Structure 1
Amino acid sequence: MNRYGLTLIIGTLLATPLLTGCAADSSESTATSTPTTPSAATDEATAETTVAAEPTVIAQAPTIQQTVLVDGLEHPWGLDWLPDGTMIVTERPGRVRLIRAGQLDPTPIAGVPDVLTTGQGGLLDVSVHPQFADNQWVYFTYAQGDRSANQTRVARARLAEGALSDWQVLFEVNRSKQGGQHFGSRITWLPDNTMLVSLGDGGNPPLELEGALIREQAQNLASHLGKIVRLNDDGSVPADNPFVDTPGANPAIWSYGHRNIQGMMYDPVSDRLWATEHGARGGDELNLVEVGGNYGWPEVTHSREYSGGEITSERSRPGMVDPLIVWTPAIAPSGLLVYQGEAFAPWQGDLFAGGLVSQDVRHIELDDSGAVINETPINIGQRVRDVRQGPDGLIYVLTDESNGRLIRLEPG
């Protein structure tokens, strides 16, 4: 159970049919300007049409100016900054782009190897090493393999003079899976320069692994699937990870029982690790991640089967950590920011979570203890893939479209 003993369950009544979180995220190659029902040919089930329970009323967002800085990005996924203010952006088909002074370099960066671009797979997150000025390392997560056998990888390469070199694979999920679902993955750094990486559970029924539904791997401490792992910056395993001395457990694991985390950020001010993860049919979650914590999936969940019916009747269990927010219907959360800038000074310490289905950014207000006290949507009108704070203290949003945008949010 979470330390607050309370989970906020939020229902949002949409004008369109109810969309499931992962169902919408699976049709990654289809750009939409309003929520639409995904094709039955996608990797996930089609959207549901049931009506949510009594919705929670969410207050209107304050006045915020939105400026489109760049368009023409093809399904951008991750965003970070170099020390000189240059933005580095990944595109899921396998390209890395640079944005200087608000202008997109028309030539992608050289030096990216082939990645598996299928379903939800491709080139995913990007993260600049905290000491980039000294070592020039940039880190990436991506899907590798083919549709019959694939996994998430973590790699790094040196970036200099507009090109990547010395590409090094640092980590690979220790179970191969089929299909194009649930790769994760986000990177965030801890103060000791170790990194946390989120990894998906591998996919939905009927997909199996080792004689059981693959989602059961999230509870298997020998498997990386459905986990957050902690690594040194060279890919080795820190000696003080929580399961280093647990027989049969993989020593890289930091927390487990996750479905598919696509939003994660460590807040050095509060010393808290926050994550948002996709549910199935509803049941998206905001979690405050504890070292060694079990987040329940799929034994404890508010999600339901895409085919209908319960995954489990249990919503909470002793020894498992409850979410702080459950979104049903799903918002399909991707990208998470803990704001610590001056441009929106009253919002310092608050969370901003992107929504693919909801096509907005959720401003989640927290009290000093980290408890959720309010949630306000900021409408974007496109699928939001990432949300980041820039060096200027403003908020930057990437939209997941075939003509994806980089949008800046600033006080209106």
Structure 2
Amino acid sequence: MSNAFSSPLMCGLLVFASLASAQQPQSPQSSRRDVAEIYASLCVNCHGPKLEGGLGPNLVDDTWKSGADDESIARSIREGRLSEGMPAFSGTLSPQDIRALVIYLREQGAKKRSESTSFARPVADKVVNSERHAFKLETIAEGLETPWSMAFLPDGRMLVTEKAGRLRVVEKGRLLPKPISGTPEVWSRNQGGLLDVAVHPDYARNGWIYLSYSDPGANDSAMTVLVRGKLREGRLVEQQTLFRARPEHYRTGGVHFGSRIVFDGKGHVFFSIGERGRKEDAQELSRPNGKVHRIHEDGSIPKDNPFAGREGAIASIWSYGNRNPQGLARHPVTGELWETEHGPRGGDELNRIAPGLNYGWPVITYGMNYDGTPMTDRTAQEGMEQPVLHWTPSIAVSAIDFYTGSRFPQWKNDLFVGALAQQELRRLRLEDGKVVHQEVLFKDVGRVRDVVSGSDGYIYIAFNEPDRIARLVPAPQSSSPRERPAAQSKAGEHGH
């Protein structure tokens, strides 16, 4: 293989010799080989152990003469360029193997670009000159344990969930020592715990606070539950359960609970539940996991929900085929519902959620298994939605929010996206339902668990490792050069 897929004849002969000595020709089957092992056995002689070239060209310099999109690269691997010394691998590699190799090339290319790119790592009193605004990252609360979500009360106090099960209050930049009492018992293991908190848009009148959490079930099982209650003298009272799955729908294992909560201003609540590590459940309308749901604010089911009245279907389902949605937000102008979900190894998605649609997991995906083995070669199928954008390799996408304040006027209505593994905060500019630009505002100062456009016009961030709440505040433009170039969409970050 080569990024131009025009390697010297000698390289092709070496590959053919390697294949002939390794095995006899046979029909390829989906393998369980790690993609790195596939590369090492078939490609390393020509392109080197670091993919930087040798007899064959460099595979990580983002130069592709035969097409830079995934299908063009897959076609070159599958069909080869025999006249130029590039053999065809269709008789040796399954379509799933070829797809895994494409993802592997994306991962290695992104790693190489990251190593050669300088990103902002803001510290106290250090100004970051981004593309449109200069800002500082200001810590406002410490002493938290794995903060998961933030929400503002009308009086300016901030509610913060800690995954272990505590609901905390930050008042005037100070974390109050006592958590809110009376919160539900949570199943706090691995990814489970107390998850999202949301304040009703008309809180000043009705006082409702909404929480999602992993609820313990029988035989060490758990499932995401949605409740609401009211604050009274430091205690959560008048609690009501708005959504709880049937006992037989609870799943064991500690992954993929979701979950975010969004109001539409029309009396509805949207919330997300991950597929709980059972990928096939995401396609089953009789199960609640792997879905975005819509209910009335009191927990009743809207009659116009897409599957209300369908025999065997969960009536609250709004969309399905969603893997692990940890970002959910409404566009402040169009009212459209936007969602981010974790892919496997690759294939993190940004989706525009519409009623009744199937977003494909696990039938289609831009990712592969975590162990580097193939999952599927299908990235599209009739009747299944394409993501607006996918990040391959994965950034471990987390929460999202649209900026609605006035302190950063040139960011108005932009979408802010957090990332856990890549420890990033990204700004996305949307036009006509498409992502037209991305910028990495900072990197490597902590796992970004939540991002919120605050009622005071600042942008608030919940960090894990180290655990704290911080905010972006405007700053005068620094006289020093900008710390890193704009993070334009690169190969592997594809819009549709």
- The residue aligned with 2:389 is 325
Aligned partners of 1:82 and 1:128 also within 8 Å: yes
Unaligned stretches of 5+ residues in structure 2: 1-102, 120-129, 476-496
Q: Which of 1 and 2 has higher RCO (CA within 8 Å, sep 6+)?
A: 1
SS of 1:181's equivalent in the other structure is: coil
Question: Which deviates the most, 154-163 or 280-289?
Answer: 154-163
- Cα distance in 1 for partners of 2:401, 2:303 equals 29
Give the corresponding residue for 1:374.
437
Contact 1:337 1:351 (8 Å CA) reproduced:
yes
CA distance in 2, matches of 1:177, 1:250: 16
After superposition, the CA RMSD in angstroms is 1.9
Instruction: For 1:389 and 1:308, locate their aligned partners in 2 and report how far apart those are by CA, in whole Å.
Output: 37
Percent identity at matched positions? 42
- Is residue 2:254 matched to residue 1:180? yes
Q: Write the mapping of 1:89-128 to structure 2, written as runs, cut at 5 A.
A: 89-128=160-199
Aligned to 2:467: 404
The amino acid of 1:411's aligned partner reads: P
1:64 aligns with 2:119: no
- 1:173–1:225 contact (8 Å) kept in structure 2: no
Segment of structure 1 superposing worse, 308-317 or 80-89: 308-317
After superposition, give the CA deviation of every residue in 1:154-199 in whole Å (9 maximum; x if it has no partner): 1111112322112222211341101111111000011212100000
1:165 and 2:237 are equivalent in the alignment: yes
Consecutive unaligned residues of structure 1, counting only runs of 5 or more, are 1-47, 204-213
Supply the distance in 1 between the matched residues of 2:422 and 2:407 (Cα, whole angstroms): 25
Deviation, 1:290, is 1.4
**Counterpart residue identity of residue 175, structure 2:** L
For 1:179, the aligned partner's letter is: G
**What does residue range 5-404 of structure 1 map to in structure 2 within 5 Å?**
52=107, 54-55=109-110, 61-62=130-131, 63-145=134-216, 148-174=220-246, 175-203=249-277, 214-367=278-431, 369-380=432-443, 381-401=445-465, 403-404=466-467
Write the distance in 2 (CA, Å) between the matches of 1:390 and 1:160: 23
Deviation (angstroms), 1:64: 2.0
Q: C-alpha displacement at 1:49, in angstroms?
A: 9.0
In structure 2, how many angstroms separate the alpha carbons of the residues matched to 1:274 and 1:315?
20
Contact 2:332 2:413 in 1 (8 A): no
Q: Separation in 2 of the partners of 1:70 and 1:50?
A: 41
Given the two structures, how large is their TM-score scaled by the length of structure 1?
0.82
Cα offsets for 1:134-153 (capped at 9, x unmatched): 22111100011157321111
Give the number of the structure whose residues are more often strand, by fraction. 1
Aligned to 1:38: none
> What per-residue deviation string (whole Å, max 9, x for no partner) do you get for residues 201-259 of structure 1?
011xxxxxxxxxx2101000111110000011111111111111333321100000000
Query: What SS is found at the alignment partner of 1:65?
Result: strand
* C-alpha distance in 2 between matches for 1:260 and 1:249: 20
Whether the 8 Å CA contact 1:283–1:329 is kept in 2: the answer is: yes
Tell me which protein shows more helix as a share of its residues.
2
Task: Specify whether residues 101 and 280 from structure 1 end up closer, same or farther in structure 2 by C-alpha distance, changes over 3 A only.
Answer: same
Seen in structure 2, the aligned counterparts of structure 1 residues 49 and 91 have a Cα distance that, compared at 3 Å, is: farther
CA offsets 1:43-88 (integer angstroms, 9 cap, x no match) = xxxxx99871544889964432110011111000111011111101
Structure 1 distance, partners of 2:245, 2:370, is 26
Q: Which has the larger radius of gyration?
A: 2
Corresponding letter in the other structure for 2:263: W
Does the CA-based 8 Å contact 1:191-1:268 persist in structure 2? no
